[in-house]
Homo-oligomer: A and B are copies of this chain.
Amino acid sequence: MVENNTSQETTFELTSGLAESVLWAIQTEDKNHLQELFRDIHEADIADLLEQFDAETRTALVTLWGHDFDLEVLSELEEKIRDEIVSLLNPTQIASAVGDLESDDIVDIVEDLETEQQDVFLGALEETDLAAVQMSLQCPEDTAGRLMQRKFVMLPEGWTVGQAIDHIRSSDNLPEEFYHILVVSPRIEPVYQVSLGRLMASNREVELNTIADEDFKTFPVLEDQHEVAYAFNQYHLISAPVVDENNRVVGVITIDDAMVVLDEEAEEDLMRLAGVGDESLTDRVFGIARQRFPWLLINLGTAVLASIVISQFTETIEAIVALAVLMPIVASMGGNAGTQSLTVAVRALATKDLTGLNSGRVIKREIWVGLINGIIFALIIGGIGFFWFGDANLGMVLGLAMIVNMVVAGLSGIVIPVALEKIKVDPAVASSVFVTTVTDVIGFFAFLGLAAAVLL
């Protein structure tokens, strides 16, 4: 898909018009029209289109596209749809096209495939590619080893710019894309890297080490991909070598792959905070329902806990039914204030902005914020309670309970995620349950308990 057009608009972009044209091509079984439509569409957009179609349309599209199906689309698809489409493809078709893919794209494609389908891909690879892919697959999922490319340019120490340029210009086994040359020790340990731009801008006699990148970082092959993405973002890295346990270079990670990981990790945190697992829009009803069930079950447990608290005060409620009317307000405000402070805390932990250095200060601040907003809302809701039910004491009880619960919300919203992080539990997964349990229980208990003490 080389585009040498001089048009003002970029040629690829997913539009609803395109989707309709593709549907029309499928309906009329017009393969030429389909290929015409896809010629200038990026494979990532074709993948999105496939994901947005229903399964039947997907099958029809892949069947119609036939032998010309672009394997690069596979690396852009989500796992389940990829499985589905690979099973529609002809093994000989895969074998003939797989050699054109980069080794990290092949890893993306095959890592989640079933063994049988995996073998179709691996069997079609040449020996060097196969070794590269298998090395990556041996690394656990979500590690640097899975992200790296095996092809990169390395040079020995002590060379000049001129030597480096001549070497690269005469080499016939260069990677598709590369942005740096890596300088290594005789034991293939990474020493520094030089960007191609800096290389091109320097005189031939300049020694490479004098134009080395300022920011240079190596990753162990087993490094968590979250750490890799964090470092690329923090240090503005473009590419970085991956080393084995002997500190020998085994591959290179580039920023585009790190960016994809950063995006995935952000999605994961967002989903986890809401009690949603790995689900995707293409999952089926029962899969989704099962995914969401555990979190709802835990929430049911905490809701029952809150009910047990309320049940301790049935006599109070029978005496003053206004309490039943007003009690959800206290719990709800606490829940929201707690969610605010826990979301800030979870994000700050993920970006390493919340550390032992400032956690004491942040905790104190959350207590103050809870107290300030608690007092303001106590006045508002106390007034509402007073005017609604004509009972100043009821308003006072409501206000006091509000202050208590807002302070508790702020405190638990920060202390719980920090404590979970300390004991190596993902704060994004578990914090919400604990915080809302605390704010529900304390909310009902403070309000009904105060009411029982003051109003009866």
Which residues of A come within 8 Å of B, CB atoms? 1-6, 8, 10, 12, 14, 16, 19, 42, 44-45, 48-49, 51-54, 165, 168-169, 171, 174-179, 185, 189, 191-192, 195-198, 200-201, 209-210, 212, 214-218, 232-238, 247, 255-256, 258-260, 262-263, 266-267, 269-271, 273-276, 279, 281, 284-286, 288-289, 292-293, 295-296, 299-300, 302-304, 306-307, 310-311, 314, 317-318, 321-329, 331-333, 336-337, 339-340, 342-344, 347-348, 351-358, 361-362, 365, 368-369, 372-373, 376-377, 380-381, 384, 440, 444
Contacts and interface: CB of A to CB of B under 8 A. Distances in A.
17 contacts: A2-B214, A3-B214, A5-B191, A51-B358, A52-B353, A177-B197, A178-B197, A233-B260, A255-B255, A263-B266, A274-B342, A281-B348, A285-B369, A285-B372, A296-B377, A303-B329, A306-B328
A453 B50 CA distance: 49
Nearest to A354: B281
Given A263-B233, A289-B372, A328-B440, A353 B48 contact: yes
Given A12-B215, A286-B372, A317-B317, 19 more contacts: A3-B212, A4-B191, A4-B209, A10-B218, A14-B352, A16-B357, A42-B234, A48-B353, A177-B238, A263-B266, A271-B344, A274-B344, A285-B372, A289-B372, A292-B373, A306-B328, A307-B326, A328-B331, A328-B444
B339 A274 contact: yes
Copies per complex? 2
Given A177-B198, A300-B380, A274 B3 contact: no
Closest 7 CB pairs of A and B: A266-B266, A274-B343, A324-B324, A196-B196, A178-B197, A52-B357, A303-B329
Contacts of A2: 210, 212, 214
B369 A234 contact: no
B174 A200 contact: yes
A354 B368 CA distance: 40
A389 B344 CA distance: 41
Contact of A235 (B12, B177, B247, B376): B12
A347 B306 contact: no
Nearest to A284: B365
A326 B57 CA distance: 46
Contacts of A3: 192, 212, 214, 216
Contact of A373 (B293, B333, B384): B293
B270 A343 contact: yes
A339 B275 contact: yes
A309 B232 CA distance: 52
A285 B368 contact: yes
Nearest to A277: B340
A275 B341 CA distance: 10
Contacts of A269: 270
Given A10-B218, A174-B201, A288-B365, A347 B271 contact: yes
Contact of A275 (B303, B340, B357): B340
Nearest to A76: B234
B340 A325 contact: no
A289 B351 CA distance: 22
Contact of A256 (B14, B238, B373): B238
